[in-house]
Amino acid sequence: MAANNNFEKITIEAIQQTFNTLQTVKGTLSQKGWFPATSGNMSVRIKCSSIEQNQPIIAITSSGKDKSVHTPEDFLLVNLDGNLVFPSTLKPSAETLVHTAIYKLIPNCQAVFHVHTIYNNLISDLYGDQGKVTFMKQEMIKAFDLWKEDASISVPIIENFSCIPKLAEEIGRVIQPGVPGVLIRNHGIYVWGNSDFTAKRHLEAFEFLFEYQIKKFFLQKF
Ligand SMILES: CSCCC(=O)C(=O)COP(=O)(O)O
Ligand SMILES: [Zn+2]
């Protein structure tokens, strides 16, 4: 009985810790204006040996919430099939299957963040026909652990399929090794990492590169 209580304590602590992490990152990204009009979603894998022995469990944002406010209903637990771990009247993100597809495909993926921003939307549309956008000669590329002087990074761009399983399938088709993100045309970006810290760093680096590219484009034109 004592062992069982201990198991539950460790599990509940791991879940609470993950919810706290999500809440903190959600607050930071929200202050940047990266979750307009309830858009965007986030997930973090629960790190707990007693859970991981069975099936990975993901803490994910509830669907349709205003991400700029914190409520007790902000996060839910799903398994890698996208099903709720505990019954709830709340719904997990409508894009849960994109998250679970990324966890299944990327070894050691611990966090997946998705935001809609003006800059990622503009980049996705300007370069959408090419299916990718490439960045080079930028110090910020080091945020992706690319340290060579001539390093470049090409971010895949897919069309914005309204069918979420199709969207998840397409993301799986274009994912590139060493490139922790995929743009969805006129929708937003999915970014991941082997920790919440790394996923956030990747997201901020992508958004920096997108903003730089758009501003440079307009400065050169006018
Ligand atoms: C105006 S947001 C449209 C849905 C979307 O793209 C999104 O990122 C938010 O969906 P969720 O179900 O995760 O709230
Ligand atoms: Zn979205």
pLDDT per residue as tens digits for the range 38-93? 999 999 999 987 766 678 999 999 999 999 999 999 999 999 999 999 999 999 99
Per residue in 68-80, pLDDT (tens digit) is 999 999 999 999 9
What are 159-200's pLDDT values in tens digits?
999 999 999 999 999 999 999 999 999 999 999 999 999 999
Closest ligand 1 atom to residue 96 Cα is 13
The confidence score (pLDDT) of residue 69 equals 98
Q: Report pLDDT for 217.
A: 92
For the entire predicted model, the pTM comes to 0.96
Check residue 55 and give its pLDDT.
Answer: 84
Q: What is the spatial distance between Cα 69 and Cα 66, in angstroms, rounded to a whole number?
A: 6
pLDDT for res 7: 64
pLDDT of residue 206: 99
Say how many Å lie between the CA of residue 2 and the centre of ligand 2.
44
* pLDDT above 70: residue 12: yes
Q: Which residues line ligand 1 (CB under 6 A)?
A: 37-41, 61, 63-64, 93-95, 114
Tell me the average pLDDT of the chain: 95
Report ipTM for this prediction. Answer: 0.99
**Ligand 1 centre distance from Cα of residue 33 (Å):** 15
- 200-222 pLDDT, tens digit each: 999 999 999 999 999 999 999 87
- Tell me how far apart the alpha carbons of residues 89 and 23 are, in angstroms, rounded to a whole number: 20
111 CA from centroid of ligand 1 (Å): 17
Check whether 1 has a pLDDT greater than 60.
no
- Please give the domain boundaries of the chain with CATH numbers for all domains: 2-221 (3.40.225.10)
CA distances from 52 to 11, 59, 88, 140, 202 (A): 10, 13, 22, 34, 25
- Give CA–CA dist 116/35, Å, rounded: 6
Query: Can you tell me the distance from the alpha carbon of 165 to that of 143, in angstroms, rounded to the nearest whole number?
Result: 30
DSSP SS3 for 163: coil
Whether 112 shows a pLDDT value over 80: the answer reads: yes
pLDDT recorded at residue 10: 76
Percent above pLDDT 70 for the chain: 95
Top mutation candidate among 22, 29, 39, 97 for ligand 1, by most atoms within 8 Å of CB: 39
**Which ranges of the chain would DSSP assign to H, the alpha helix?**
2-31, 49-52, 96-105, 118-126, 164-174, 196-221
Of 108, 113, 98, 105, the closest CA to residue 67 belongs to: 113
* H/E stretch holding 179: none
Q: Whose CA is nearest to atom 4 of ligand 1?
A: 39
Q: What is the mean pLDDT of residues 121-132?
A: 98
Cβ-based burial of 178 (10 A; exposed 0-12, middle 13-18, buried ≥19): exposed
